[in-house]
Structure 1
Amino acid sequence: MDSQQSLDENRYTYANRNLWSGILFGLGLIAFFDEVVFHQLLAWHHFYDRSTTQIGLFSDGLFHAFSWFATIGGLFMFADLKRRQAVWMKRWFGGVLLGAGVFQLYDGLIQHKVMRIHQIRYVENVFIYDVIWNVSAVLIILIGVILILKTRQRDEKKVIAYE
């Protein structure tokens, strides 16, 4: 078995771990981005806006801790994949986009509209913000799914050559 064949076999053996590492990292990354940009820099909202500013800031701290745990967890899994020579960047990056997009869509639909714990921005016509937020989430998900699907099936020529 040559080294390329061994590398490909490692990728297929750890395909799910590549995907979940990417999903966790993407979820943490987009949560971190949301918290820094929309909560801190723009000050559009807090994670929980149905109470005092102090509670809102406390909820932001918990949200920030969650985002770091997810990001670090995904990176620990990635480091393990690297050690095993099983990193599959296309699949991992597809997972990153899927995790980021799913989190953003969950935030936009469930947290903003169903639970109403905060809105993306408190303005008279929030509809345009909601549309941009949720449509961009769907696009990120679609790109992630396309990348993942491209890695789902083994290349038939390689499988025949290996067997």
Structure 2
Amino acid sequence: MESAAISKVAWTPTALFRWAGYLLGFALGGFFDGILLHQILQWHHLFSGIETAPWLDLRMQVMADGLFHLLMYGIALAGLWCLWRTRWEYAQPGAGRRLWADALIGFGVWHVIDAVLSHWLLGLHRIRMDSASPLLWDLVWFAVFGLGFIALGWWLSRRGGTSGTGRAGAAALFGAVAIAMPWSMLPAPGQSAVLVLFRPGVSAPQAIAALERIDADLLWSDASGQLWAVRPAAGQRASLLYRHGALWVGGSLLPAGCLGWLQVRT
């Protein structure tokens, strides 16, 4: 009788269990931003809005993105530690719903903080650097992935019962990727820019000769002469550069994105 009465007592999650969801969702928001916008869509880097040395060097931008992801790993590990410390709570009725709800809130909070701090106060970058209306993109991202996910998490946390609510939270996060990923295949206005990394031993004159084979316009190059941002001529395939010393050619099916704001260097 006593055990039956105890089982009817409503479970109240501890603060540590709540933080597990918040931190994991926050980290997932950062990874979503960095992987989708920095690497796949290539709309910006972390410090794309800073136009002074050393951030004009693309290698510094990529390094900053890597450090950003390292920070997200740290936050995710902190969330996993909180979840491990409160693992007994996950067996409670409604714990899965609560964890997903808090993760959705954390996901949305990341995008709110990123918009307010990185986009508008510090000017580190905008959602789409090459857009004629960067504020519009900022506001859409802020509303959908920021306020929208916070509202969804709040709704899920208030919903009674446990059936299907964990799946609803998972579907929301997967849905964010499903909505955003098709943008990565949209053609950019005009010819797409690509990054070309030549293997060690290929001199700058040899690299230039290879680029001339596809009539590429030079957008940017690093001091070593091995990393180039170029725009191939119409009808030319950047993949041909693999025959002429290229170690890696990236972005040929992606929007020009972050390359659009690079200035021609001579």
**Inter-partner Cα distance in structure 2 for 1:22 and 1:2:** 29
Shift in CA distance, 63/142, structure 1 to aligned 2, threshold 3 Å: same
User: How far did 1:132 drift?
Assistant: 1.4
Which residue of the partner structure matches residue 156 of structure 1?
Answer: none
Per-residue Cα deviation, 1:43-70 (whole angstroms, up to 9, x for no partner): 1111112122222112111110111111
Which residue of the partner structure matches residue 132 of structure 2?
Answer: 124
Q: Flag the structure with higher strand content.
A: 2
List 4+ stretches of structure 1 deviating above 6 A. none
Which residue of the partner structure matches residue 2 of structure 1?
Answer: 3
Q: Percent identity?
A: 25
Which residue of the partner structure matches residue 64 of structure 2?
Answer: 59
Which residue of the partner structure matches residue 152 of structure 2?
Answer: 143
User: How far did 1:148 drift?
Assistant: 3.5
**Inter-partner Cα distance in structure 2 for 1:36 and 1:58:** 14
User: Is 1:45–1:118's contact at 8 Å kept on the other side of the alignment?
Assistant: yes
User: Is 1:15–1:91's contact at 8 Å kept on the other side of the alignment?
Assistant: no
Which residue of the partner structure matches residue 99 of structure 2?
Answer: 92
User: How far did 1:149 drift?
Assistant: 4.6
User: How far did 1:98 drift?
Assistant: 1.1
Per-residue Cα deviation, 1:8-50 (whole angstroms, up to 9, x for no partner): 66x42x4322211000000001101111111111111111121
Read off the aligned partner of 2:143 and give its amino acid letter: V
| Greater RCO, 1 or 2 (C-alpha within 8 Å, sep 6+) | 1
Shift in CA distance, 54/142, structure 1 to aligned 2, threshold 3 Å: same
| Mapping 1:1-163, distance limit 5 Å | 1-2=2-3, 5=6, 11-12=11-12, 14-49=13-48, 50=50, 51-52=55-56, 53-82=58-87, 84=88, 86-87=89-90, 88-122=95-129, 123-136=131-144, 137-149=146-158
Shift in CA distance, 17/149, structure 1 to aligned 2, threshold 3 Å: farther
Q: CA RMSD, aligned part only? A: 2.2
User: Is 1:48–1:59's contact at 8 Å kept on the other side of the alignment?
Assistant: yes
Read off the aligned partner of 1:27 and give its amino acid letter: F
Per-residue Cα deviation, 1:54-102 (whole angstroms, up to 9, x for no partner): 22112111110111111122122222322x2x12122211211111111
User: Is 1:19–1:94's contact at 8 Å kept on the other side of the alignment?
Assistant: no
Shift in CA distance, 8/35, structure 1 to aligned 2, threshold 3 Å: farther
Q: Which has the larger radius of gyration?
A: 2
State TM-score, norm by structure 2: 0.50
Per-residue Cα deviation, 1:104-131 (whole angstroms, up to 9, x for no partner): 0111122111110011111112233112
Q: Flag the structure with higher helix content.
A: 1
Q: How many residues align?
A: 147
**Inter-partner Cα distance in structure 2 for 1:39 and 1:3:** 53
Q: Which runs of 5+ in 1 are unaligned?
A: 152-163
Shift in CA distance, 3/26, structure 1 to aligned 2, threshold 3 Å: farther
State TM-score, norm by structure 1: 0.79
